[in-house]
Structure 1
Amino acid sequence: MEMNFYAILVAALTTLVVGSIWYSPVLFGNAWMKETGLTEEELKKGSMLKIFGLTFVFSVLLAMILQVLCVHQFGPLGMIGGPDFIDSAKPSYAAFMADYGTVFRTFKHGALHGFMSGLFLAFPMIAINGLFERKSWKYIFIHAGYWTVSMTIMGAIVCGWV
């Protein structure tokens, strides 16, 4: 089982697409600016190439780990020592993969794991940082909501794109 790097790259792009909608004035952009104390003029400062470029790089890392969390077949692969050991694995590995090699490889299953990752990983981390930074719950929920939606979509892509 190898990582699907096309799915990872597409999933990473979704953070930019979701972010452009989520943080726009149509949804939560105005509330987010108010909660952060930023103005539109301040947001125009800085290197957008750097911001979007690094966002994409970090999103690739998230998509890579989401693929491992969403695709259960990576577990047995890890138990035999990784892809280098497939040829020397016991027959039980081949039998398991023959029976379960594509089970739970759906967009729906990936979305579930992505959602759980957003709820049980992203939300607590954002909430902890927000509490120490004395940010409002509105601020915390705006960011946690963004990451939960993004990770749900990312999980669907990396799991369902077989």
Structure 2
Amino acid sequence: MLNEINVFAVIASAISSFLLGGLWYSPLLFGKVWIKESGYDEKQAGHPAQVFGLSFLFALVAAYGFSILLGPKPDILMAMHYALLVGFAFIGTSFAINYQFSNKSLKLLAIDGGYHISQFLIYGIILAYWH
């Protein structure tokens, strides 16, 4: 089964998370609110090459893992169902637990959780249609 995974679809999925993130966290959508709610300080940010490089690696691992979960030829409804399940039940709740202990706002949870739910929905669409 692992040799039936479309590596190009996995790579495209990982790239899609960057496109989504660029829009999601931009001033056009949630960037200003995210900066306020997260307490982001640009002076303390890591080196962009490291941040983006590691982020792409993590997105690639997530897309690959999701492709294994879906199997080699998922239909779109199953892919969307699993994307929502992973996004809400695993990622969203994990963020919610961490955010409760770190006293983060529900706005921040909605922004970050919403991004990852959307990320996996896009992964599902790409993996379902690109066998």
Return the alpha-carbon distance in structure 2 between the equivalents of residues 136 and 66 of structure 1: 28
Return the alpha-carbon distance in structure 2 between the equivalents of residues 68 and 133 of structure 1: 32
Alignment of 1:24-103 (within 5 A): 24-39=26-41, 41-42=42-43, 45-71=45-71
Return the alpha-carbon distance in structure 1 between the equivalents of residues 54 and 126 of structure 2: 21
The equivalent residue for 2:7 is: 5
What TM-score comes out, normalization by structure 2 length? 0.89
TM-superposed CA distance for 1:126, in Å, is 0.6
The SS at the match of 1:27 is coil
The equivalent residue for 1:23 is: 25
Structure 2: gaps of 5 or more residues: none
Name the aligned partner's letter for residue 38 of structure 1.
Y
The equivalent residue for 1:109 is: 78
TM-superposed CA distance for 1:111, in Å, is 2.6
Asked if 1:131 corresponds to 2:100, the answer is yes
TM-superposed CA distance for 1:139, in Å, is 0.8
What TM-score comes out, normalization by structure 1 length? 0.73
TM-superposed CA distance for 1:28, in Å, is 0.5
Return the alpha-carbon distance in structure 2 between the equivalents of residues 13 and 115 of structure 1: 20
Which protein is bigger by CA-based radius of gyration?
1
- Contact 1:114–1:156 (CA<8 Å) still a contact in 2? no
2:114 paired residue among 145, 152, 158? 145
Structure 1: gaps of 5 or more residues: 74-101
If each structure's helix is expressed as a fraction of its own residues, which one has the higher value? 2
The SS at the match of 2:5 is coil
> Which structure exhibits the higher relative contact order, with contacts defined as CA atoms closer than 8 Å and separated by 6 or more residues?
2
Task: Name the count of aligned residue pairs.
Answer: 129
Identity of aligned residues (%): 32
